[in-house]
Structure 1
Amino acid sequence: MASRQSRIITNVIVVLFAVWFFQSGVKPPKEAATDFQLNAFAHLPVKYEGRKKPIDTFARNFLTVLSDKQSVRTADGNRISATQWLLDTVSGRPEAMDYAVFRIENLDVLSSLGLEERKRFRYSYHELLPNLGQLDTAARSAYGKEDRQRDLYDKQVMKVANKIYLLQNIMASFEDPSGIPQEQLMATAQRYTRLENYSIPLVIPPSSGNPRWRPLMSSLLATHAVLPDPLAAEFAAMLDASRAGEADLFNDALHKYGTLLQTENPAVFEKLSFEVLYNRLGAFMKSASLYLLVFVLSLFGWLFRKEGLVGAARTLMVCAFVPHTFAIVARSFLSGYPPVTNLYSSAIFIGWAAVAAGIVIEMGFRKRSAGMGNLVGGIAG
């Protein structure tokens, strides 16, 4: 009886721990009325690489490409979200160029940029700026070679250059051309046309006046006094207020933009809140962390013959499997594609199937192979 009660208590503790672990980070930071309403901004729609998504997703993915992280450590040691980093960057806040977001690990590339190796291998745009011309020349030389002729330095130079080109193109797509002299408008329009051939974010959704998604730069360039684009004007007002550090003006423009969009195209907000929740849950990474803990608990349970540890690992594996399953279904729902479409999704699905097999082994053959299913699930997950 005591043993049964002990197992129940252990299972309850494990479940509560798993719930606490998965809910951490789901709620956005509290924002005062006088703060920049970044949570609302994160829910705004953008179309990028052929799919509508919230700015939260775009910012996280963009920052991950540059930095392999979804947040930024500032010079004073604090962390800011990907959404705040994106807003600071595209609005032109001076400190944005000092955020260390470029991950560069190759020592030869660092040397060519006049940079020294540091702990986290992350560098700011301002640090790269003095030698961007040299980097561009080296990258163009590498692009001109056939793949089999490229050495490690060539490949790493191309990798860093691609990150810089991506940042420059995306920053350009948020330009406000209103201050450009009249005689330069034609050249600017041609530059914007060329830029639209690249993958850039389209932040102005379809409306009654225009049926297609558009980048901010082109929408503002096409705007004039006779036929203004109110959506583009309010988005530009948000960026102007952000650059000036005026939270009240930013929040006012954000509210007007959201109201206009709800009136013009309410369907554009479908799935966005769910996707932001999905992003904040981070179920794949959190499940992977718990599977590692499952493996460790099972290993110690076997080594020291502690049935309690094996049982706790079993319960924890099930607790990790549930959000893992939810994440696979949610990802398919959001993307509109089946669960397996590329190597990354294949690895996730194979890991999920292996964990499911581990649970079956544990539940069906508990007496003969106690802990074996945990090890299978812990390693594969």
Structure 2
Amino acid sequence: MKPLKFIIGLCLGILILAIPFSQFQPSPVESLQTLAVQLDGRKKPLDTVARETVAQIHGRLRYQTNDGNQLDYLSTYLSLWFNDRDWNEEPFILFSYRPLKERVGLESGRKYFTFAELITSDLGSVVLSARQKQANEQDLSRDEREALTIEERLGLMLDTVGQNSLPLVPHPSQPKGTWVSIPETGQYYQPEVEQTLASNYDNLKSHFDSISILGQTGQQLQTELRQLSPQIYPSVKNLEREVNFYKLHPFGKAWILYAIAFCVMLIVLLFPTFDFYWGAIGIFTSGLLIQGYGFIERMQIAGRPPVTNMYESVIWVGFGVAAIA
């Protein structure tokens, strides 16, 4: 009976991992999600750029616009990128530190503010004071540290909205060479190449509201970019791996399985007649498996062991403790 209950628990864990089943369905804009971008010292899919940008500015991966539309992170990023609405007046920028809000004359009860509101507030004076202290190597107050964080969000917003400076065009020969934006294609390639890429970009922008056309145009753009430098451009497999990694969110699901296993084990201890100890072990094992899978995928994506920052180290140590236990 023990192996059977273990298998049942393991299957329950795997079933939980598979929910929602929609995560395994291909996206109609997958070709756009897997456009390669060279940022932060590596080549990453546009999906990751969108996810990180929206999370850094807004603090969440979903945004409700002034007109009531619910946008996911990719739609939000594309809207920023193509500047299809007045982002100066959208309450999109996260600002949660109450004392600083009161100091610069903003409503303390609000959490999100528009670009225009922040620019016209007294935030600039706090940022200037913080910069002067940094230049003099003085310690910053909490208000000043928070002000610099808001400044970073404002800067990222400026770099994203309506900007055609995203480095999408690969270097023609050097794996670590600098990529350029579509308007800068002429630095590496013939003028007709730049015209073709610019035309596809304009098609993307003009068909932003049509998912099917957006996917087709994204595929055309990716194909042309890949053909420019097939040895330099990341493989479809590697780009899809990163997109699917974030879609599955293995570390988040692992702790959910650990929590469920803990609750089941607690019930077993409190109610001995509920004989499902090995089932709890099976659920716990499924958590270990998905977390181990997450580490393998993360190493494949980053090209290094997942222990180079505090976040990765904490997860790695937790995984080790759980595995030993």
**Corresponding residue for 2:9?**
11
CA RMSD in angstroms comes to: 3.5
Residue 318 of structure 2 is aligned to residue 351 of structure 1: yes
Deviation at 1:109, TM superposition (A): 2.6
Residue 241 of structure 2 is aligned to residue 274 of structure 1: yes
Structure 1 stretch 101-110 or stretch 39-48: which is displaced more? 101-110
Which TM-score applies when normalising by structure 2? Answer: 0.82
**Corresponding residue for 2:60?**
69
Distance 2:303 2:99 in 1: 42
Counterparts in 2 of 1:356 and 1:223: CA distance versus 1, 3 Å: closer
Which TM-score applies when normalising by structure 1? Answer: 0.71
Counterparts in 2 of 1:299 and 1:50: CA distance versus 1, 3 Å: same
**Corresponding residue for 1:138?**
126
Specify the code of the residue in structure 1 equivalent to 2:55: T
Counterparts in 2 of 1:314 and 1:144: CA distance versus 1, 3 Å: same
Instruction: Show CA shifts across 1:269-299 (max 9, x none).
Output: 4111111111111111111222222222223
Deviation at 1:355, TM superposition (A): 1.4
Assess if the C-alpha contact under 8 Å between 2:54 and 2:61 holds in 1. Answer: yes
Higher relative contact order (CA 8 A, sep 6+): 2
Distance 2:290 2:3 in 1: 27
**Corresponding residue for 1:259?**
223
Gaps of 5+ in 2: none
Assess if the C-alpha contact under 8 Å between 2:31 and 2:215 holds in 1. Answer: no
Assess if the C-alpha contact under 8 Å between 2:57 and 2:93 holds in 1. Answer: yes
The alignment of Structure 1 onto Structure 2 pairs a total of residues equal to 319
The structure 1 residue matched to 2:283, chosen from 316, 319, 332, is 316
**Corresponding residue for 1:237?**
202
Specify the code of the residue in structure 1 equivalent to 2:76: W
Residue 42 of structure 2 is aligned to residue 51 of structure 1: yes
Instruction: Show CA shifts across 1:97-134 (max 9, x none).
Output: 5554422211123232523424xx33343553543xx3
SS in 1 for 2:44: strand
SS in 1 for 2:164: coil
Residue 292 of structure 2 is aligned to residue 325 of structure 1: yes
Deviation at 1:226, TM superposition (A): 5.5
Gaps of 5+ in 1: 32-37, 176-200, 359-381
**Corresponding residue for 2:152?**
162
Counterparts in 2 of 1:106 and 1:217: CA distance versus 1, 3 Å: farther
SS in 2 for 1:72: strand
SS in 1 for 2:275: helix
Structure 1 stretch 135-144 or stretch 296-305: which is displaced more? 296-305
Deviation at 1:230, TM superposition (A): 4.0
Deviation at 1:45, TM superposition (A): 0.5
Distance 1:73 1:108 in 2: 26
Q: How high is the sequence identity, in percent, across the aligned residues?
A: 19
Deviation at 1:47, TM superposition (A): 0.7
SS in 2 for 1:204: coil
Q: Counterparts in 2 of 1:355-374, with a 5 A limit?
A: 355-358=322-325
Deviation at 1:153, TM superposition (A): 1.0
Assess if the C-alpha contact under 8 Å between 1:89 and 1:96 holds in 2. Answer: yes
Residue 168 of structure 2 is aligned to residue 174 of structure 1: no
Residue 106 of structure 2 is aligned to residue 114 of structure 1: yes
Deviation at 1:216, TM superposition (A): 2.2
Distance 2:85 2:230 in 1: 35
Assess if the C-alpha contact under 8 Å between 1:239 and 1:250 holds in 2. Answer: yes
Distance 2:73 2:10 in 1: 35
Distance 1:126 1:300 in 2: 54
Assess if the C-alpha contact under 8 Å between 2:7 and 2:279 holds in 1. Answer: no
Deviation at 1:60, TM superposition (A): 1.1
Counterparts in 2 of 1:39 and 1:99: CA distance versus 1, 3 Å: farther
Residue 170 of structure 2 is aligned to residue 205 of structure 1: yes
Deviation at 1:91, TM superposition (A): 0.8
Specify the code of the residue in structure 1 equivalent to 2:109: E
Specify the code of the residue in structure 2 equivalent to 1:72: Y
SS in 2 for 1:353: helix
Specify the code of the residue in structure 2 equivalent to 1:42: Q
**Corresponding residue for 1:128?**
118
Distance 1:129 1:291 in 2: 45
Larger Rg: 1
Structure 1 stretch 81-90 or stretch 229-238: which is displaced more? 229-238
Counterparts in 2 of 1:141 and 1:40: CA distance versus 1, 3 Å: same
Distance 2:293 2:7 in 1: 26
Counterparts in 2 of 1:79 and 1:140: CA distance versus 1, 3 Å: same
